[in-house]
Amino acid sequence: MLRRVVVTGMGCVTPLAHNVSNTWSEMLAGRSGVARISLFDPANFPSQIAAEVKNWSCSVPCLPRQTQFALCAAEQAVAQARLSHEVIQPSRLSVYMGCGEIFPDLQTITELVGKSLGESGFSPEDFYRQAQGQSFFQGSCEPCDAAMRIAAAVGAEGQVANSITACTSSSLAIGQGAELIRHGDADAVIAGGAHSMISPFGVSGFARLSALTTEWNDQPELAMRPFDITRSGFVIGEGGAVLVLEDREHALARGAEILGEVTGYGAGQDAYRLTDPHPQARGAVTAIRNALADAELRCDDIDYISAHGTSTMMNDRMESRAIKKVFGDQAKSVPISSIKSMVGHLTTACGALQAIACIQSLLHDAIPPTLNHQSPDAGCDLDFTPGEARELACRHILSNSFGFGGQNISLIFSRR
């Protein structure tokens, strides 16, 4: 018999705040974390806005931002869960994160290239020799660095892993972390994700894909417009979100507070194109149906859907189509919203932050709004909770994450 998986701790660092409570308050208030980029000069970029983590300082400033975010979020989650070696064997504690690529500092690279220019031109040998002492050539820039550092900080001696599956990375980490517990391979898993792509490399890459909005540089708070007919692309966000997943019986035995339960996990692959979702949303449909089957729930059991909702023309229409295909006539009666409208797209970390928002909805009988949803799209004609948060007592919540490469993950969170 599979074991039940509950959430006993949560932590986050977001463009809205540096912890769960304040982030949740800002979401319910419909605040936007989007502003002009300050981490570098964006004047020559077509998209000059992002959702940065503001007023950020860390005790280990030499680490990449995403690693800092992950460590801070994990510390919060572990503290709330009261997880220690006194209550869990180190070999039964695992870490599963979804953290993406880390970009080297452009200024540092430019300086090294300058120092490697001689009379005969650029010298690769000089560049490599000088680069040996730079951190971006060392282990701290590995995507798995955050997971390993979290494991070291808490003394987790079980399985430690990091997934990189684009925008589904941290949702996959939560799903796979839950599977470790379900099948008895761990008693608790620290799971989540972190990312920061707000750099010249990250912004340039998404700009070349025409994924970023370029129309709202002068009004950044209006830029993220999921499911609205005037949407024109997403805004990059950054941050970290971590949950402590735990075997329900283990949590009860040690007197831990149970915040919610992970009841469904489903995956589906488009098998179509690298950057475009399948026009019939087949991977997303499969993921949602698999999550419902895993949770042994019907469509009418779902009280709210936390949408992937990226504010891109194709993705929002695809997600709407997937929901309609799975939910049928019930699709228009289930409330939906996208927290990306406030925090931007946290890329590999977005699913974990959605998971935290879902648990908060279960705990507080409220759902966050979709900011800037003012003019409905004929292809997105569902209830997207426009503008204002809504009081809603939820039993079961579906959370969608759909990523580049046709990867689709759906999770279901249920009331404790």
Active site residue 167: yes
Residue with tokens 């831990």: 256
Residue in 72, 99, 141, 167 annotated catalytic: 167
Residue with tokens 């979709």: 370
Is 242 strand, coil or helix?
Answer: strand
Q: Work out the widest C-alpha separation in the chain, in whole angstroms.
A: 72
Residue in 278, 345, 373, 396 annotated catalytic: 345
Residue in 18, 250, 278, 308 annotated catalytic: 308
Cβ distance 328 to 299 under 8 Å? yes
DSSP states of 50-101 as a string?
EBPPPS---S-TTS-HHHHHHHHHHHHHHHHHT--TTTS-GGGEEEEEEE--
* Measured torsion, CA atoms of residues 384, 385, 386, 387, in degrees rounded to the nearest 10: -150
- Name the residue among 244, 249, 254, 245 with its Cα closest to residue 87: 254
d(C-alpha 156, C-alpha 150), whole Å: 8
Cβ distance 338 to 308 under 8 Å? yes
Instruction: Tell me which residues are annotated as active site.
Output: 167, 308, 345
